[in-house]
């Protein structure tokens, strides 16, 4: 393929078909070889390149003048592979990004080449049934009933949106039935405009921002989200939820859904699911559990940490977090398969209602998306080649690591740790042991400055990637440990770097440490 030109005369030769399989093998082999070579000698998680520097290199490329394959890969090595952020590196500790397992990469290569679209049966065939089987496998692992269903999504944000859309429409349908409104269809459209201003979503103060985003997209507005205080472990307080539910209903408002979290982004905390489920049942409220992070527990030796999730009406799972899958690989699961009807729409040119009546399995009937990748294949091959216990072992390994690192941080007076981890996230900050006496406000600002500086300087040097967040309005650092090959020694090296950068900053500010 390197000998082909970019002229229109050669265009057909670039199509993947029975005549070009040799070219396909050669192209994929050369591309995979470049990636393998780069990963082999990667010595740090990031190059430290600045946005301006990289943008200048990319902007100067003339996209109207094609080059051959080898030249294009050489160029890609300079503008992407060299400066990519590598999640497989043991000093990548920043976000909920995982190293990926090889069976899933095999699935990625296959699904991209075949290019099935999972919206209709006549575009995917076996892909449709594989996805459906994985949905039911996940539902079974969650402990949901045999009547559960779901669909793969682009990620946790989309899953949360679809779950809350379903909760909204089901709440409106239920209220329409109570009012004996014979004009309301299944989606409750007749009552929806009148009810929207009254609907409320209750979730913890540390739940994912997609809950508020979903409220806005669903026409409720961010003010419809009521945040519930957490305890010292960053778990939603059931007593506070109970009080909020009662206040909401006394005010004539309608609790549309409670969103509990099984693995918060900042702290990895898991809300008390059974207690929250009790309250939802008592008040007749939809319970959605965002288990985007914690879903790996369903194949872990710590499965009991998810006790109560089987009582949820809907659940978000992100396999591309704790199942070590490439992005994207996620799903939304509902306990009652009939709830998928709330997103159903039929078009004669794609999925006519007559097809559903004949039992033709068109996944677009359940999805917010139309054209959709066969992402389920990655998880399928992972389970068939590695098995669920192996995936659970990987997740257990990073949870064990987080506990070990917590003991290191908790014993070191230079660091303040917010809470002991439940999963694999640690929020902490560097606190200079001999900071000179000064006004409390000035001291707080200096602590913010030094911790922000540490994170930015580590990234700029490419030495380590560390996350950041705020707690009680102050800046903290964050380790998200999702690499089973990372060791306590690796993290200790990063902590030494944290101290080095912090002390350098304080010295420049004239502060003794």
pLDDT of 188: 46
Contact residues for 43 (Cβ-Cβ < 8 A; gap 6+): none
- Enumerate the CATH 3.40.640.10 domain ranges in the chain, comma separated: 117-375
CATH 3.90.1300.10 applies to domain 389-508: no
Interior angle at CA 507, CA 501 and CA 509, nearest 5: 105
pLDDT at 184: 46
Tens-digit pLDDT profile for residues 5-14: 667 888 999 9
Q: Select from 348, 358, 259, 257 the least CA-distant residue to 309.
A: 259
pLDDT of 452: 97
Give the separation between CA 210 and CA 162, rounded to whole angstroms: 11
Class of domain 117-375: alpha beta
Helices (H), ranges, 17-82: 21-40, 51-59, 69-76
Summarize the confidence of residues 410-419 as an average pLDDT. Answer: 95
Closest CA to 379 of 141, 157, 133: 133
Q: What is the pLDDT of residue 444?
A: 85
Cross-strand partners of 61 = none
CA distance 288 to 314: 5
What integer best gives the mean pLDDT of the chain? 93
91 has pLDDT over 50:
yes
Least confident piece of the model among 3-12, 133-142, 385-394: 3-12
What does the pLDDT read at residue 465?
97
Mean pLDDT confidence for 414-432: 96
Query: What is the spatial distance between Cα 425 and Cα 108, in angstroms, rounded to a whole number?
Result: 28
Q: Given the structure tokens 């920043």, which residue do they identify?
A: 94
- Residue-level pLDDT at 511: 64
Whether the per-residue pLDDT at 23 is higher than 80: the answer is yes
The residue ranking higher by pLDDT, 372 or 5, is 372
- 112-137 tens-digit pLDDT: 999 999 999 999 999 999 999 999 99
The percent of residues in the chain predicted with pLDDT above 70, rounded, is 94
Mean pLDDT of the region 154-173: 96
Alpha helices for 96-203 (secondary structure H) = 102-114, 121-124, 126-142, 156-178, 192-195
DSSP 255-287: EEEEEEEBS-TTT--B--HHHHHHHHHHHT-EE
| Average pLDDT value for residue range 418-428 | 97
Stretch 323-339: mean pLDDT = 97
Q: Write out the E strands in 12-136.
A: 92-93
CATH code 1.20.1650.10 for 8-86: yes
> Rounded to an integer, what distance in angstroms lies between the CA atom of residue 67 and that of residue 28?
17
- Asked if residue 281 has pLDDT above 60, the reply is yes
Return the pLDDT at 180: 55
The pLDDT of residue 443 is 86
State yes or no: pLDDT of 181 exceeds 70: no
List pLDDT tens digits, range 289-318. Answer: 999 999 999 999 999 999 999 999 999 999
Position with higher pLDDT, 139 vs 194: 139
Q: What percent of the chain has pLDDT over 90?
A: 89
For the segment 38-75, what is each residue's pLDDT rounded down to a tens digit? 999 999 999 999 999 999 999 999 999 999 999 999 99
pLDDT of 187 above 60: no
pLDDT at 182 over 60: no
What's the rounded mean pLDDT across residues 180-191?
50
Neighbours of 277 (CB within 10 A): 21
274, 278, 283, 284: CA torsion to nearest 10: 70
Buried b (16+ CB within 10 A) or exposed e, 440-472: eeeeeebbbebbebbbebbbeebbbbbbbbebe
β-sheet bridge partners, residue 476: 469
Q: How far apart are CA 419 and CA 398, in angstroms?
A: 17
Report the pLDDT averaged over residues 359-382: 96
């Amino acid at each position: 393929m390197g000998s082909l030109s970019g002229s229109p005369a050669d265009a057909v030769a670039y199509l993947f078909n029975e005549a070009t399989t040799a070219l396909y093998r050669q192209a994929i082999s050369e591309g995979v070889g470049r990636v393998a070579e780069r990963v082999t000698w990667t010595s740090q998680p990031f190059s430290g390149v600045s946005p301006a520097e990289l943008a200048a290199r990319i902007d100067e490329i003339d996209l109207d003048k094609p080059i051959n394959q080898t030249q294009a890969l050489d160029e890609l090595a300079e503008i992407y592979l060299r400066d990519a952020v590598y999640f497989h590196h043991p000093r990548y500790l920043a976000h909920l990004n995982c190293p990926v397992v090889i069976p899933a990469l095999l699935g990625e290569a296959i699904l991209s080449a075949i290019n099935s679209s999972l919206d209709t049966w006549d575009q995917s065939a076996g892909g449709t049934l594989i996805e459906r089987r994985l949905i039911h496998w996940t539902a079974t692992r969650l402990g949901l009933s045999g009547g559960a269903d779901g669909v793969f999504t682009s990620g946790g944000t989309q899953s949360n949106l679809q779950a809350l859309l379903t909760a909204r429409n089901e709440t409106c349908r239920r209220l329409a039935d109570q009012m004996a409104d014979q004009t309301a269809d299944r989606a409750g459209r007749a009552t929806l405009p009148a009810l929207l201003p009254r609907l409320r979503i209750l979730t913890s103060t540390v739940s994912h921002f997609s809950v508020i985003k979903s409220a806005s997209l669903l026409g409720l507005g961010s003010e419809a989200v009521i945040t519930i205080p957490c305890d010292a472990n960053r778990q939603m307080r059931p007593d506070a939820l109970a009080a909020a539910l009662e206040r909401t209903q006394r005010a004539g408002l309608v609790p549309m859904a409670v969103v509990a979290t099984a693995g918060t982004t900042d702290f990895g905390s898991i809300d008390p699911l059974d207690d929250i489920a009790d309250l939802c049942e008592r008040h007749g409220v939809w319970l959605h559990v965002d288990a985007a992070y914690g879903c790996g527990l369903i194949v872990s030796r710590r499965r009991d940490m998810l006790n109560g999730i089987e009582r949820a009406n809907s659940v978000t799972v992100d396999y591309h977090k704790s199942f070590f899958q490439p992005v994207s690989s996620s799903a939304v699961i509902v306990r009652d398969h009939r709830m998928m009807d709330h997103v159903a729409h039929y078009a004669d040119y794609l999925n006519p209602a007559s097809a559903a009546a004949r039992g033709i399995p068109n996944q677009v009937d359940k999805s917010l998306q139309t054209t959709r990748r066969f992402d389920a294949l990655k998880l399928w091959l992972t389970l068939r080649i590695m098995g669920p216990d192996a995936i659970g072992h990987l997740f257990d390994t990073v949870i064990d690591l987080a506990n070990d690192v917590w003991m290191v941080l908790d014993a070191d007076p230079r660091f303040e740790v917010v809470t002991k981890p439940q999963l694999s996230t640690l929020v902490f900050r560097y606190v200079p042991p001999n900071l000179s006496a000064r006004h409390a406000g000035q001291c707080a600002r200096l602590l913010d400055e030094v911790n922000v500086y540490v994170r930015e300087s580590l990234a700029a040097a490419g030495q380590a990637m560390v996350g950041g967040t705020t707690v009680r309005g102050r800046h903290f650092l964050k380790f998200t440990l999702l690499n089973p090959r990372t060791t306590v020694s690796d993290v200790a090296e990063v902590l030494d770097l944290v101290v080095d950068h912090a002390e350098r900053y304080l010295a420049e500010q004239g502060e003794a440490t």
